[in-house]
């Protein structure tokens, strides 16, 4: 739902996708859903993407261990500025947990439901890049899909920063027989699904096809950043406010046209043009209601500018 602050500024293009962009423009500000194969690190995958597109910079969302496969979103060029918007997305995995001794399935399910669903305390593994201190993470669900001998096929959804290998190890210890993870695949990151991901070779081929005059496949792979942030709350601003925002000036209530409901003070939000172009990312200094009612004060403090200067006239 939207709070409409200025009816006169309502643009007939409001709510539509940004205008069709050429490949060069897409490469400058986009996201790619890579289907990572087993072997390379997430960093290596990002570097290969950087090399394929001759990009200035890249960043991946949510590191996968070398042997883990599946969905690895990668941001290109100016899209890297938006990495902060994806850091807290929940993730889903399917994997295989190997129990070290024979076990009772009903008892295993009971232990998982009682101790490993909901808020859990987890200590990162020794090889992790973060401090090994207890921290709270949420496991939304941990479902057993199939059992073959001592191998347990599972599907889980967890908060960002949850270590699945450690989760499996902790489950084995809680049962009393021990367990370790033998396979793992990430199938979702937020609303991004593995069904829309692409193997590295396909991405490279699509780039070569484009260079040879066929852009169809590459346009299916490159996701404009505006398409990728449906999970982020937004404010839409008048055209007259855009030039100052592109220079990093704060957004004042007078420059706002539409406000998404339920924005909270202190929340990271997207500042959009009425043509649905991402202008900047900012920190809300007012909630939605106050933005709608106020005429003075800072509504949004700009954290980073995404739109290039000069697109809108000064």
Whether 180 and 236 map to the same domain: the answer is no
> Is residue 151 situated within a structural domain?
yes
What confidence score (pLDDT) does residue 228 get?
Answer: 95
Assess whether 168 and 96 both reside in one domain: yes
pLDDT at 166: 94
Q: What is the pLDDT of residue 2?
A: 75
Q: What CATH number is associated with residue 252? A: 2.30.130.10
Domain boundary among 161, 189, 217: 189
Mean pLDDT of 22-34: 94
Work out the average pLDDT over 3-21: 61
| Residue at 138 is within a domain | yes
The per-residue pLDDT for 313 is 47
Nearest CA-CA partner of 257 in 5, 51, 37: 5
Catalytic residues: 65
Residue 299 in any domain: the answer is yes
List of residues 6+ apart from 279 with CB closer than 8 A: 237, 242, 245, 246, 271, 272, 273, 305, 306, 307
Q: Would you say residue 293 lies in a domain?
A: yes
Is residue 275 a part of any domain in this protein?
A: yes
Same domain, 167 and 248: no
CATH of the domain at 181: 3.30.70.3190
The mean per-residue pLDDT over the stretch 284-292 comes to 96
pLDDT, one tens digit per residue, over 204-253 is 999 999 999 999 999 999 999 999 999 999 999 999 999 999 999 999 99
Residues 183 and 265 in one domain: no
The stretch 114-120 carries a mean pLDDT of 97
Q: How many structural domains does the chain have?
A: 2
Distance of alpha carbon 166 from alpha carbon 58, whole angstroms: 28
In this structure, are 185 and 239 located in the same domain?
Answer: no
In a domain, 148, yes or no: yes
267 Cβ contact list (under 8 Å, min separation 6): 233, 283, 284
Instruction: Give the whole-angstrom CA distance, residue 11 versus residue 15.
Output: 9
Q: Is 0.85 surpassed by the pTM of this model?
A: yes
Are 106 and 185 part of one and the same domain? Answer: yes
pLDDT tens per residue, range 96-106? 999 999 999 99
CB atoms within 10 A of CB 254: 14
- pLDDT at position 308: 77
Bridge partners of residue 137, in order along the sequence: 120
Mean pLDDT in residue range 47-71: 96
Domain with 135 in it: 91-189
pLDDT for position 9? 58
| Domain-located, residue 269 | yes
């Amino acid at each position: 739902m939207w709070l409409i602050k200025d009816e006169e500024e309502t643009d007939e293009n409001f709510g539509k996708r940004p205008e069709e962009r050429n490949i060069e423009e897409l490469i400058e500000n986009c996201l790619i859903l890579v289907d990572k194969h087993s072997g390379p690190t997430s960093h290596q995958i990002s570097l290969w993407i950087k090399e394929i597109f001759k990009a200035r910079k890249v960043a991946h969302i949510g590191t996968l261990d070398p042997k883990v496969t599946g969905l690895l979103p990668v941001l290109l060029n100016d899209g890297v500025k938006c990495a902060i918007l994806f850091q807290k997305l929940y993730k889903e995995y399917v994997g295989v947990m190997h129990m070290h001794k024979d076990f009772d399935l009903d008892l295993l399910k009971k232990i998982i439901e009682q101790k490993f669903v909901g808020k859990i305390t987890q200590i990162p593994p020794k090889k992790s890049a973060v401090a090994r201190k207890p921290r709270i993470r949420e496991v939304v669900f941990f479902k057993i899909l199939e059992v073959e001998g001592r191998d347990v096929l599972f599907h889980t959804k967890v908060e960002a920063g949850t270590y699945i290998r450690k989760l499996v190890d902790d489950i084995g210890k809680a049962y009393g027989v021990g367990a370790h993870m033998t396979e793992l695949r990430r199938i979702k990151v937020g609303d991004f699904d593995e069904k829309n991901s692409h193997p590295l070779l396909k991405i490279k081929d699509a780039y070569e096809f484009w260079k040879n005059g066929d852009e169809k496949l590459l346009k299916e792979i490159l996701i404009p950043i505006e398409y990728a942030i449906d999970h982020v709350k937004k404010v839409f601003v008048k055209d007259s406010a855009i030039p100052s925002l592109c220079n990093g000036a704060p957004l004042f209530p007078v420059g706002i046209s539409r406000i998404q409901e339920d924005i909270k003070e202190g929340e990271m939000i997207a500042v959009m043009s009425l043509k649905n172009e991402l202008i900047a990312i900012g920190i809300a200094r007012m909630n939605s209601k106050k933005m709608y009612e106020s005429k003075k004060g800072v509504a949004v403090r700009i954290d980073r500018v995404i739109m290039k200067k000069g697109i809108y006239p000064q």
